[in-house]
Structure 1
Amino acid sequence: MKQIILVLMETYRRQVKSWSFILLVLSPFIFIFVSLGFGYASSRLGDNTSDRVAIVSSNRKIASQFRYDKKKTTLVYQTKKDARKALDKEKIAGYLVLEKRNGQFIAKYVGEEKMDSEQLKEFGQLLQQKQQELNIQTAKITSQQLKSFSKQPILKQKIIAKGASDATIKTISFVFIIFLMYFILIIYTSAIAQDIASEKGTKIMEMIFSSMPAKSYFYGKILGTFAVIATHLLIYTLGGGLCYFIMPKLKISQGIFSEYQDTINKIITNLVSINLLYVLLGVILFTILAALCGALVVRPEDVSKAIQPVMYIVMLGFFGALTLGQDSNNLIVKWASFIPFLSSFFMPIRLIYGNVSIFQLLLSLGLLVLSAFFLARYVGSLYASLILQTDDIGIIKSFKRASKMK
């Protein structure tokens, strides 16, 4: 057991300290923060002086009443001439000439282009509000009369549960799960196969096998790789949780979270469940198979050919789940959820849609665990004869020879 732990720690340390692993883990977070940064920068750049609309009025009191855009610190000019100069120098986008005549506010906009729709809406609302205040003063309406005039009708809404929304949430959840599986398998199956192939036939391996059983070394390699994958997933989980708590407080993403908070919560509930166990077990099973493929080749450059059967199974599960994922009652989906190499793709679909009994769940998990256990034992028993082979006799013949020598 001590030997297995030593190999595990060495495999884990070597892979986690590599730049490829660090960049792989950090790349999604870098993408998120760069996207937020660009969004923030564009919103700040949108706040330049050329977007300002100035107010023109000789009456300072009227001008101050219509400084509607506090954020952009609306400019005020006393004469049209001064405002025109500012417009020619592109300091402002346009200006509003304000007058009060016969108990009525009159506003005229001057600019090279039409006023921005948001600015037009804000100014229109403010103009209506100020005109209403002026009308009340002119009509000498009492506070009691004003109170009765200000009564508004009440409109209430009651939102009931929507089936379509639940279906969308379930679809997003299972698509995320299978993409996560596909992403991890594509990266780590190739990595473990390449790592084992690079060690094959070296003098170092002969020395290692003389001091410890080959199967112990193999178990250590597999467990070390799995620890790296678990670390990768843990970082994503912690990083995702941090984003979940921080992003609703950021102005750039606040609106999205406030609108879709319930949907996001339901998706997270579907992800952080037994589905993650299926992802981990599926990764272990495929990693062991990839290790076998890596041990069958003589040259590291042949790994891409040897690992093709693993990639075919991964793609079968991935595209099959994408195609049939929205019909969890499909017979193929039901049968595939019990087949070890495919169940990690198909059983999460049935779990998300909630049509799996406890017996079926335990049976599927049991088959997956037993398959990983027996495959690991079998490949471990072949490992020494596979690694020490240096004859380029082909993958199938190498496997047959190793099976006879175990």
Structure 2
Amino acid sequence: MNKLWTVTLQTYWHQVKSWSFLLLILGPFFIIGCSALGGAIGANSDSDSQIAVISSNKQVRQNFIKNNDKYVDSKIKTTDSAKKAVKKEKIDGYLVFETQKNQVKAVYHGASPIDDELKPKVKSYLQVLQSQLNLQQAQLAPRQIKALQQQPKYREVLQKNHQGDKLVKMVSLIIVIMVVYMVLLSYSSITAQEIASEKGTKIMEIIFSSTTAAKYFLGKILGIFGVIITQLVIYIVGGWATYRWALHAKITASFMHDNQVIINKILGNLVNINLIFLILGVIIYTILAAFSGALVAKPEDSSKAAQSTTMLSLIAFFLSSAFISNPEQILPQVLSYVPFFSSFMMPIRIINGHVGNVEVILSLAILIVSIIGLLIYISKIYQGVILQTDDTSFWKRLKRGLAYS
């Protein structure tokens, strides 16, 4: 047992301390960071695009600036200074508030139209000012003023299957399929090359003289499984930290607040039973990739070792993409119970809400039994496969390996 854990830890540290693992971990966070930086730069550039507000009524000017300070350069107070600032391109334009014949007016002067976000705010503010002026001119009694200030009420009653649910399902499905495929692709290649690099070396014969091939193979798989779990834990912790940061960061807070219900539902579809299907799917593909790596003729062919596993995962990926909108057809239903395909198909059915707990448990049970059975069988024939060094065809090596006992 000690030798099993020795192989496990050696494999684990060999992968974790590599540059490829570091890049694999940092890649998504780098992309998110670049996106956030781009958003920050965009926000800063937007904040630099300002106008001046001019009015003979100081209260009118100050109230508008107070509610729209990010759009306004409050230092400019006169028309002449505003014109000079526009010429020097320090501001985009200037807005003049005035009252003529009991009518409130706002005139914008600039080389380009006023900002699309600011324009409705100006119109809304004008409406408030005009309403206040109308009340002053009408000289109404307090009871009449109170009646005019009565506000309408608005509320929404949404059906269970509204458009937001469709968006949540579609985004969740795309993320699940892409994450499963990318993780499988990465670790299939890593595992196949890890095993293939040992092909034909004398050290394998020495290792097998001190421990069994089954323990060595199991140690390799457990080591790579540890790397997978490490990566997922880092992604979950880092993703949660990023989520909490986005809730309070200035450049993302408004977006997160407006779409928090949808975002929470998407996250709920990712961190649930679908995560277990992802992990089990990676494990079964990792075992197959290890077997493929052991079947190559020589270490130089390690780059080709993962081709069979990659092709199988590619087929599963395209099939799941094809049935993403129609997961209850007969083919995706059947494939949701088939190992190597269920990690793609069953999450699609779960997210669409067309599958019961019994079906999910049955699919999981089949997948777990398949992993255990495949692991036991390959560990028994592993020595005969890994020690083959003759440069024969792939099928001959496969036939000889399967016949080994």
Query: How much does 1:340 deviate?
Result: 1.8
More off after superposition, 181-190 vs 277-286: 277-286
Number of residue pairs matched by the alignment: 403
Deviation at 1:43, TM superposition (A): 0.9
Moved more, 391-400 or 106-115: 106-115
- The change in CA–CA distance for 1:152 and 1:366 in structure 2 (over 3 A counts) is closer
Distance 1:67 1:373 in 2: 68
- Give identity over the alignment, percent: 40
- Alpha-carbon shift at residue 354 of structure 1 (Å): 3.8
- Whichever residue aligns with residue 153 of structure 2, its letter is I
Deviations 1:55-89 (A, max 9, x none): 264x75665565464333424444x4443323222
Task: Report the secondary structure of 1:46's partner residue.
Answer: helix
Deviation at 1:380, TM superposition (A): 1.4
| 1:234 partnered with 2:225 | no
Task: For 2:395 and 2:69, locate their aligned partners in 1 and report how far apart those are by CA, in whole Å.
Answer: 76
Q: Which moved further from structure 2: 217-226 or 386-395? A: 386-395
Report deviation, 1:240.
Answer: 2.2
Report the counterpart of residue 294 of structure 2 in structure 1. Answer: 295
Change (3 A) 1:238 1:96: closer
Per the alignment, do residues 307 and 117 of structure 1 end up closer, same or farther by CA in structure 2, a change over 3 Å counting? closer
Instruction: Give the counterpart letter for 1:153 in structure 2.
Output: P
In structure 1, C-alpha distance between the alignment counterparts of 2:134 and 2:217, rounded to whole Å: 87
- Give the C-alpha shift of residue 333 in structure 1: 1.7
Q: Deviations over 1:335-369 (max 9, x none)?
A: 21222222222222333334445554443333222
Query: Cα distance, 1:149 vs. partner?
Result: 2.2
- 1:192/1:120 CA distance change after superposition, 3 Å: closer
Q: Which residue of the partner structure matches residue 10 of structure 2? A: 10
Comparing 391-400 and 121-130, the one that deviates more: 121-130
Bigger CA drift: 62-71 or 239-248?
62-71
Match of 2:371 in 1: 372
5 Å matches for 1:304-323? 304-323=303-322
Mapping of 1:6-405 within 5 angstroms? 6-48=6-48, 51-55=50-54, 57=56, 64=62, 67=65, 69-71=68-70, 72-78=72-78, 80-101=79-100, 103-405=102-404
Distance 1:81 1:273, change over 3 A: closer
Query: 1:161–1:189: structure 2 CA closer, same or farther, 3 Å change rule?
Result: same
Q: For residues 108 and 148 of structure 1, what CA distance do their matches in structure 2 show? A: 32
Equivalent AA in structure 2 for residue 70 of structure 1: D
Using the TM superposition, give the Cα deviation of residue 106 of structure 1 relative to its aligned residue in structure 2, in angstroms: 4.8
Asked if structure 2 preserves the Cα contact closer than 8 Å seen for 1:54 and 1:75, the reply is no
Further displaced range: 279-288 or 68-77: 68-77
CA contact (8 A) 1:194 1:303 kept: yes
Cα distance change on mapping 1:56 and 1:92 into 2, 3 Å: farther
**Structure 1 120/13 Cα, relative in aligned 2: closer, same or farther at 3 Å?**
same
Please say if residues 50 and 73 of structure 2, whose CA atoms lie closer than 8 Å, have aligned partners that are also in contact: no
Q: After superposition, what is the alpha-carbon deviation per residue over 1:295-339, rounded to whole angstroms, capped at 9, x for unaligned?
A: 111333423444332222212211111112333332212221222
Which amino acid in structure 1 is aligned with residue 26 of structure 2?
A: L
Contact 1:293 1:303 survives alignment (8 Å): no
Letter in 1 for 2:374: L
> Are the aligned partners of 1:289 and 1:310 in contact in 2 as well (CA < 8 Å)?
yes
Q: 1:110 to 1:373 in 2, by over 3 A?
A: closer
Q: What residue identity is the alignment partner of 1:286?
A: Y
Question: Which residue type is aligned with residue 381 of structure 2?
Answer: L
Q: Which moved more, 1:156-165 or 1:337-346?
A: 156-165
CA distance in 2, matches of 1:99, 1:165: 44
Given that residues 197 and 297 in structure 1 are in contact (C-alpha distance below 8 angstroms), is that contact kept between their aligned partners in structure 2?
A: yes
- AA paired with 1:376? L
Secondary structure of 1:341's counterpart equals coil
Change (3 A) 1:360 1:38: closer
The residue identity in structure 2 corresponding to 1:368 is: L
Q: Distance in 2 between matches of 1:123 and 1:293?
A: 67
The amino acid across from 2:151 in the alignment is Q
User: Structure 2 regions of 5+ residues with no counterpart?
Assistant: none
Q: Secondary structure at the match of 1:47?
A: helix
The separation in 2 between residues aligned to 1:362 and 1:156, in whole angstroms, is 41
Question: SS at the partner of 1:251?
Answer: coil
Secondary structure of 2:6's aligned partner? helix
Aligned equivalents of 1:211, 1:235: Cα separation in 2: 36
Q: Distance in 2 between matches of 1:40 and 1:55?
A: 30
Alignment partner of 2:151: what SS?
A: coil
Change in Cα spacing, 1:38 to 1:196, as seen in structure 2 (3 Å) is same
Cα separation, 2, equivalents of 1:106 and 1:262:
40
Deviations for 1:347-398, whole angstroms, at most 9, x for unmatched residues?
A: 2233333444555444333322222222212221222222222221232222
SS at match of 1:95: strand
2:124 match: secondary structure: helix
CA distance in 2, matches of 1:103, 1:359: 73
Which segment is superposed worse, 123-132 or 27-36?
A: 123-132
Counterpart-to-counterpart distance in 2, 1:166 and 1:310: 35
How many angstroms does 1:194 deviate by?
0.7
Distance in 1 (alpha carbons) for counterparts of 2:10 and 2:210: 16
Q: Hey, what's the Cα distance between the residues in 1 that align with 2:116 and 2:404?
A: 80
Given that residues 8 and 219 in structure 2 are in contact (C-alpha distance below 8 angstroms), is that contact kept between their aligned partners in structure 1? yes
For each residue in 1:147-200, what CA deviation from the matched residue of structure 2 results, as whole angstroms up to 9, or x when unmatched? 222223333332232255434433433332222221111111111111111111
Aligned counterparts of 1:263 and 1:107: Cα–Cα separation in 2: 39
Q: Scaled by the length of structure 1, what TM-score is found?
A: 0.88
Given the superposition, is the C-alpha separation of residues 93 and 311 from structure 1 closer, same or farther in structure 2, using an over 3 Å criterion?
Answer: closer
Q: Secondary structure of 1:157's partner?
A: coil
